[in-house]
Structure 1
Amino acid sequence: MDCRRRVPGVFALAGALLLYVLLALWVRRHPQSSCELALLRRLQTSIPPKIGHVLRWVSWLGFPPQSVLLPSAVIAAFWWRGQRTVALQLLSTWTASTVSFVTKRLIRRPRPNHPSIIVPVTQPRDASYPSGHVVTYTAFWLAALTAVAERVPWAWVRGLLLACAGLLVATVGLSRMYLGHHWLTDVLGGYLLGGSWYGLVRLLRCAGERAESCEA
């Protein structure tokens, strides 16, 4: 990948991060939105119970203790197998959760707490913006499943892993809203941060591989 082909990617990542910051500022000034409340209520009442049960399981990876233990185990497994570059790259994607934590501390947006909102799973006590689940799934788990898929010799398994990665990323935002844990803007902020962080790590990886090939 030459420099000219990387330029659009750099601008796209910078734009996503800028939107993330602007959305955070908007959320700080408008922590409660009647439009988002109406959307959240409509979503919760329109999803069938069976699909809702599946959505509850979608969020499972993002709750402690598995939210810490499983990523640590994946990184350790790659390190133990001698693929330390991959392990460090996955660790880099996981640091997006640190940015999410800092943002939560700065913005301090309350979780949805209207009496009409259904909360079937105990609501986390931290701040609402951004959705940490969405950040972690879009950054770390997308990178982890992609890394495993790239090293599997069977095409059907690769396709299955990539499909699982895409499905997790696509449904986690819906899951967080269905459980009444997040507003729509929390989810959007999570996708902006997680997606840009994932893209940044991949961009740096490609740049490093390009530099190594030039030196060789």
Structure 2
Amino acid sequence: MPEPGSPGGEVALLVSVQSALVGRPGVLPVARAMSYFGEHSLGWLAVSALGALRQPHRRRQWIVAGVGTFTAHAAAVLIKRVVRRPRPHDPAVIVNVGVPSKLSFPSAHATSTTAAAILIGQATGRPLPVVLVPPMALSRMVLGVHYPSDVAAGVVVGAVVAKGIAALASRVGGRGVGH
């Protein structure tokens, strides 16, 4: 049990993550760069657009990835407005980046990154979720802007949206996203 006045629960986990990683060389600059890249899912949308331009034979898959990424981000924003959970504000948590909203649950960065990783992974045939999702999720905690449950929920929402968009694209196009 935490001592009186010390952070407990998710705050304690968040403080532990920050204590373990923030002082390491390069961690904060990389986490901030990831934050800027993922803001409003713009980095993933740009990657999807570039893929569609550079690989015309897979254009449909890249467009599906962009639509899925945008849809996942929109879903996260809508959920945030319903849940209205405030971002971490405990004095033990150091906020290391600016944010456009005061709402925390779910992490839109984790949501859109998960959807993008799944759908771009299908377009490229690469296991992108295992490479991209954990660093983005961890970066949100390193930066002090999300609780662990925010990023976990974001990953789940992103995966559900990606699966739904891929299924819809398969039905509408008469073929799977990976074809």
2:175 paired with 1:200: no
More off after superposition, 168-177 vs 78-87: 78-87
Q: Could you list the per-position Cα deviations for residues 77-111 of structure 1 after superposition, in whole angstroms to 9, with x for gaps in the alignment?
A: 51683645324422331211111111111111111
| Matched position secondary structure for 1:44 | helix
- Structure 1 range deviating more: 34-43 or 87-96: 87-96
Gaps of 5+ in 2: 1-6
Q: Does 1:56 align with 2:20?
A: no
Q: Count residues in correspondence.
A: 166
Between 136-145 and 80-89, report the one with greater CA deviation: 80-89
Counterpart of 2:19, as a letter, is: T
Larger Rg: 1
Distance 1:128 1:88, change over 3 A: same
CA distance in 2, matches of 1:68, 1:55: 16
Q: Which moved more, 1:76-85 or 1:167-176?
A: 76-85
Does residue 1:92 correspond to 2:56, yes or no?
no
1:171 aligns with 2:147: no
Q: Contact 2:141–2:148 at 8 Å: present in 1 too?
A: yes
2:119 matches 1:143:
yes
Query: How does 1:176-195 map onto structure 2 within 5 Å?
Result: 176-195=140-159
- For residue 178 of structure 1, what is the amino acid of its counterpart? V
* Contact 1:134/1:169, CA 8 A, preserved across alignment: yes
Q: Which amino acid aligns with 1:59?
A: S
Q: Is the partner of 1:50 in helix, strand or coil?
A: coil
2:11 is equivalent to residue 37 of structure 1: yes
The TM-score with structure 1 as length reference comes to: 0.64
TM-score (norm 2): 0.76
1:108–1:166: structure 2 CA closer, same or farther, 3 Å change rule?
Answer: same
Residue 124 of structure 1 is aligned with which of 87, 100, 106? 100
Change over 3 Å in CA distance of 1:198–1:46 after alignment to 2: same
Q: Secondary structure at the match of 1:193?
A: helix
Give the corresponding residue for 2:78. Answer: 102
Map Cα deviations across residues 152-186 of structure 1 (whole Å, 9 max, x no partner): xxxxxxxxxx3655321121111101100001111
Contact 2:62 2:120 in 1 (8 A): no
For residues 50-90 of structure 1, the C-alpha deviation after alignment (integer angstroms, 9 at most, x for no partner) is 262333333332126xx336515623651683645324422
In 1, distance between residues paired with 2:158 and 2:43? 19
* Contact 2:35–2:109 under 8 Å retained in 1: yes
**Higher normalized helix content (fraction of residues):** 1
How many angstroms does 1:125 deviate by? Answer: 2.2
Report the aligned-residue RMSD: 2.9
**Residue 212 (structure 1) shift:** 5.7
Name structure 1 gaps, 5 residues minimum. Answer: 1-32, 151-161
